[in-house]
A and B are shown apart, each in its own frame.
Chain A
Amino acid sequence: MGKSGRTATLCGAAIAASLAMAAAPAMAQQPIKVGLLEDVSGDIALMGKPKLNGSQLAAEEINAAGGIMGRKIELIHLDPQMDNARYQEFARRLLQRDKVDVLIGGITSASREAIRPIVNRTDVPYFYTNQYEGGVCDASTISIGAVPEQQFSTLIPWMTETFGKKVYTIAADYNFGQISAEWTRDLMKKLGGQVVGEEFIPLGVSQFGQTIQNIQRANPDWIMTLNVGASQDSFFEQAAAAKLSIPMGSSIKVMLGFEHKRFPPPALAKMHATANWFEEIDTPAATDFKKRWRAKFPNEAYINDMGYNAYTALFMYKTLVEKAKSTKKADLRKVIATGEACIDAPEGKICIDPKSQHTSHHMRLIGVNPDHSVRVIKDFGLIKPYWLGEIGCDLTKKDPKEQYTPTSLPKK
């Protein structure tokens, strides 16, 4: 399988090169350097590879269409191998030595936190392209992925209405899982529901016998699955083998880790999730995008939302630069402050919110069928990232450089 893929990549590269040469006269200026930090080795290569692919596809398309203000995009990718210290080293390298104009990347929240202090000492903007637990209020950081208010405030009311008011949460025992569980708790309280059990699982745990029995004892109407990483995904196989057949909801399953492609049916049946992107979207714009992606990367196991977000991030950057007529962070932020920083992405039109510098998204509720095909259950339309603004983060006025959570709010 590797060979044809490599040939295709080579062809792609050759086409890109010839296109670039054809456009050479217009590209006389210095290229715009884009620093990428994506893990393509180790445990989470599963997610890092599509992200790198997304950036490459976007760069190729933008360059073929004349670049950004006539300047070509040059991607400089380094692989931090999931190591936070490498993230720090390489962020410095890209910023200080390669002098990139923009930094994009990071998978885990820990890697983002590792590089934020470094980016903050420069005038380079940083794009974080993952869905995450939300709450980063930092003028240097522009978040492209979906955040809890977009995913949970859509998913949880629907799950409660459809399946019932008793939920059992299993979550990875770290920031993402704990904060997402906090969101679930808060929303269930508002909806008059009940969290009948909550279980935090250390990263890397792969055995779930006890968890499955705890769930059966608590007998919930549905399960919120916020388990993270390949090891913890084994939960689905083990739960299915033990005939635990309870509806599930999640903010990260299907669209991100494509568990429905990795486990044989019906392990993921009855899974529900809200997402701004999943490969099964079939609007004309999405279909066209998927066709371009598959043409360049025919062996992609699944075009996941992280890869898609990485793709849109570069187009968002292009729009910002062209509106600002500058690559400086301060100038780009002036454009964001107008609220006009929008692009037509494959999911629909999306914009950056001036207060939080997070992105609005077109959210859809999806369900996994017994044969692991995916159906769209509900279309929520465009949902803004409102939470940070509500709790008092306003980056147009003040830059606290903090990450807030529902239990750790800014001081009034």
Chain B
Amino acid sequence: MFAEIFSIAFQFADVFAFLILAAAGLAIIFGMMGIINMAHGEFITCGIYVTVICVQHGVPLPLAQAIGALSAGLVGIVLERTIIRHLYHRPLDSILATWGISLMVTQGMLIVLGSSWQGIGTPLGSFAVGGYTFSTYRLVLFGAAVGVLIGLYLIYMRTNYGVMARATMQNADMARALGVRTQRMYAISFGLGAALAGLCGALYAPTMTLIPTMGITFIIESFVTVVVGGANVLLGTAPAGILLGVVRTILNAWYGQIAGQIGLLITVIIVIRMLPEGVSGWLSRRGG
């Protein structure tokens, strides 16, 4: 009995981690900045490939993962300075630009790096509960997801950058008038979003097939989570992760993965219909 309950909890934690990690970067770039980033998957891929290259050159995995996340963040900042900053006043056009970037990057990687690489293997072994065995690394993923949520909260609520960034997102002109260097806020925020996407890739790199288009497997889950969460990332992402995680875990377990997938999409439709501002809009209204 305990084993069954543990198994369900473990699966929920696993789905939750996937949703949160996939969505964290997008929550900043799409949720806060309003950029519809079709290249989100490519930031994730960037994190994955850098991590794998480092590991192949003998760098220990945790360090390799940190490098993976940082490089995605750097790429993000460069992209923001060169391209994205021209698009803030017309966010819908960012679809076109980021889609273009996404096409170029995936196909470029395919040509330069080849169609597949050998994986690096999942660390940390496994443990048993009752009749079931579980991969220990999955607990690390869950821990990382919780860590990312706490980290985001601290960054945006407790740091100087966080206050200025939130001010910039709410009213850039006013923030500028008050002396905030908004350009820099945008660049750092975009970089942070890209780094979180890279972190997601870095964390999942050991557990997945390595091909240049693999970022796309995260895309739907990430958009769905961010949208259900609503504009306030700090308030919305965690409850969205929990809601969608519960829906998906239950449907996966009892009706199979296809039900889980379609269920996720239908949940989004219903949530948007019921709570047009997402979970965070609803929460903040209730909170007064």
A binding-site residues for B, Cβ under 8 Å: 1-2, 41-43, 45-46, 49, 173, 199-202, 204-207, 209-211, 213, 216-217, 219, 230-231, 233-234, 237-238, 240-244, 261-264, 267, 299, 301
A-B contact pairs, 25 of them (CB 8 A): A41-B110, A45-B115, A173-B258, A204-B216, A205-B261, A206-B208, A210-B11, A210-B253, A213-B132, A216-B133, A231-B217, A234-B207, A234-B208, A237-B207, A237-B208, A241-B137, A241-B207, A242-B135, A242-B138, A243-B135, A262-B210, A263-B119, A263-B209, A264-B120, A301-B114
Q: Once the chains bind, are A45 and B121 in contact (CB under 8 Å)?
A: no
| Residue in A199, A231, A244 whose CB lies within 8 Å of B133 | A244
Residues 119-132 of B, flagged 1 when their CB comes within 8 A of A and 0 if not, give 11110011010011
Residues 195-225 of B, flagged 1 when their CB comes within 8 A of A and 0 if not, give 0000000000011111101101100000000
- Report the number of A-B residue pairs with Cβ-Cβ less than 8 Å: 123
| Residue in A42, A46, A211, A241 whose CB lies within 8 Å of B135 | A241
Alpha-carbon gap, A267 to B106, bound state (A) = 27
**A241: chain B residues within 8 A (beta carbon):** 122, 126, 135, 137-138, 207
Q: Once the chains bind, are B209 and A234 in contact (CB under 8 Å)?
A: yes
Q: Once the chains bind, are A173 and B115 in contact (CB under 8 Å)?
A: no
Q: Please indicate which of the listed interface residues A2, A49, A241, A244 has the most CB atoms of chain B within 10 Å of its own CB.
A: A241
Q: Once the chains bind, are B257 and A210 in contact (CB under 8 Å)?
A: yes
Interface membership of B192, Cβ < 8 A: no
B binding-site residues for A, Cβ under 8 Å: 7, 10-11, 14-15, 18, 106-107, 110-112, 114-122, 125-126, 128, 131-135, 137-138, 206-211, 213-214, 216-217, 249, 252-253, 256-258, 261
Q: Once the chains bind, are B116 and A46 in contact (CB under 8 Å)?
A: yes
Instruction: Give the distance to chain A from B248, nearest Cβ to Cβ, in Å.
Output: 9
Q: Decide: A243 near B126, CB < 8 A? Known: A46-B115, A231-B217, A264-B121.
A: yes
Q: Once the chains bind, are A264 and B7 in contact (CB under 8 Å)?
A: no
Q: Please indicate which of the listed interface residues B18, B126, B128, B217 has the most CB atoms of chain A within 10 Å of its own CB.
A: B217
Q: Once the chains bind, are B15 and A207 in contact (CB under 8 Å)?
A: yes
| Residue in A202, A237, A243, A301 whose CB lies within 8 Å of B257 | A202
Q: Once the chains bind, are A213 and B116 in contact (CB under 8 Å)?
A: no
Q: Once the chains bind, are B122 and A237 in contact (CB under 8 Å)?
A: yes
Instruction: Give the distance to chain B from A40, nearest Cβ to Cβ, in Å.
Output: 9
Instruction: Give the distance to chain A from B250, nearest Cβ to Cβ, in Å.
Output: 10
Q: Once the chains bind, are A207 and B211 in contact (CB under 8 Å)?
A: no
Alpha-carbon gap, A45 to B11, bound state (A) = 33
Q: Once the chains bind, are B118 and A264 in contact (CB under 8 Å)?
A: yes
Across the interface, name the chain A residue whose C-beta is closest to B18. A207
Q: Decide: A238 near B257, CB < 8 A? Known: A209-B10, A217-B131.
A: no
Q: Once the chains bind, are A230 and B11 in contact (CB under 8 Å)?
A: no
- Extra inter-chain contacts (17) besides given A206-B214, A217-B131, CB under 8 Å: A42-B107, A43-B211, A46-B116, A49-B115, A199-B256, A206-B208, A210-B252, A231-B209, A234-B208, A234-B209, A237-B206, A237-B207, A238-B135, A241-B137, A242-B135, A262-B119, A264-B119
Q: Once the chains bind, are B217 and A200 in contact (CB under 8 Å)?
A: no
Across the interface, name the chain A residue whose C-beta is closest to B121. A264
Q: Decide: A262 near B117, CB < 8 A? Known: A200-B258, A243-B133.
A: yes
Q: Once the chains bind, are B122 and A238 in contact (CB under 8 Å)?
A: yes
Q: Once the chains bind, are B132 and A216 in contact (CB under 8 Å)?
A: yes
**A202: chain B residues within 8 A (beta carbon):** 257-258, 261
Q: Please indicate which of the listed interface residues A1, A49, A199, A209 has the most CB atoms of chain B within 10 Å of its own CB.
A: A209
Instruction: Give the distance to chain B from A176, nearest Cβ to Cβ, in Å.
Output: 15
Alpha-carbon gap, A288 to B117, bound state (A) = 27
Across the interface, name the chain B residue whose C-beta is closest to A43. B213
Q: Please indicate which of the listed interface residues A1, A199, A230 has the most CB atoms of chain B within 10 Å of its own CB.
A: A230
Alpha-carbon gap, A205 to B219, bound state (A) = 11
Q: Decide: A209 near B121, CB < 8 A? Known: A2-B112, A46-B116, A49-B115.
A: no
